[in-house]
Structure formats: structure tokens, C-alpha cells
Chains A and B, each alone.
Chain A
């Protein structure tokens, strides 16, 4: 199983600013994924990050708002840009070693935008 850490664990930000969330895996994983969980809701996939290529975004999410980097097989970042209160959510990253394997999740970053 993979152990995934995220930084920061929580943050309170002002509208119009940006926040970069880091995700570190203790072993190499092929795919990493970023999810958003709005208050009281389920998890929604933002994008899939494959090393060495641009991230693939789900419908409703765009690169200008959520730029993602994946510089190697154990690390990824998600930036939430030009934040508004509607971006207040928990952001979670996950990874697996193969597309059919069990996915493990980081502890999440709890973001509040004022």
C-alpha cells in the first residue's frame, strides 16, 4: 500500500489569492489524481496527473483555475488560483501503482476562502 502525505493540512485564504497544495507518495505510482470534496458532498475528480505529460481535466475543471504539476513518480502539486469562497473544500490527492490497483488517499487539505 502507498502512504500519501499532503501539505498544508488546512489553510484560510483571502479571495483572489492562490494556494499550492503538495502531495507526496512514499513509493512510485503511475497515476496521481486530485479530487475536491465540497462541504457535505461526495468526492469529485478534478484531474488525472501522469508524469511527464500535461494533466487531464474532468468536465467543469480547467487548467487556468487548477494548474497541476507532476515532476516525478512520487510528487504532484495542485494550485487553486484566484480563489473565491466557492472554492472552500477539502482537496485530496490519491495514487496507485497500476490503473487496476487499489487507490490510496492523502489526508486532505481543508481550504477555507474568506
Chain B
């Protein structure tokens, strides 16, 4: 079974600074998807960024970028120019590629609580 590990229960960063959240995973598959989700107090999971394992290029979405190291099974999230609205729980998640007939469920890590200091 796949596992996702987030070793940082909580991270704190000054507004406008850069912070990196860590994630490692374990799988025997060669093709899969990795995600970072943001969960604010409203509880709704919001997709931050997604990476396909077959793509060597790291995904980027505005201030959010990932460092995907496939051999090391590492998938970290970098948030640049941190803003107060970035404060939330961040979850790393894994999914196998489609096995036919729809997407499998996601396997989540335990999350990192990101605090933004004004």
C-alpha cells in the first residue's frame, strides 16, 4: 500500500518570506500523481498544485512550486512571497494513475499547519 509522510506538523514563516513544506511517499508504481492541497478552517480541500510522475519538469503555479525527486520519493512544496491568506493546513497526497473506470481515491499525509507571521 502507498504511504505519504509529512514530517513537519507545524511550520511558521514571516509574511513575504519563502517556506518549504516536506513530503515523502512510498510506492512500487512507476507512474502516479502527487498533489498538494490546502485546507483552511472552512474545511474544504483546495488543490494547490499537481505533479505527474512521468514529467521530469517540476510543476509551478504562481507563487507555488514543487521540488519533485522521483528517485528519492520526495515531493516538497515551496511557497514564495508568503501571504496571510496562505495560512492553513497543507496536505500532500498520492494517487495511482487511472486503472480504468475512474480515478482511485487519494492517499493523504497527516498534514502541516502553516502559520504566517505578519
A and B together in one complex: no
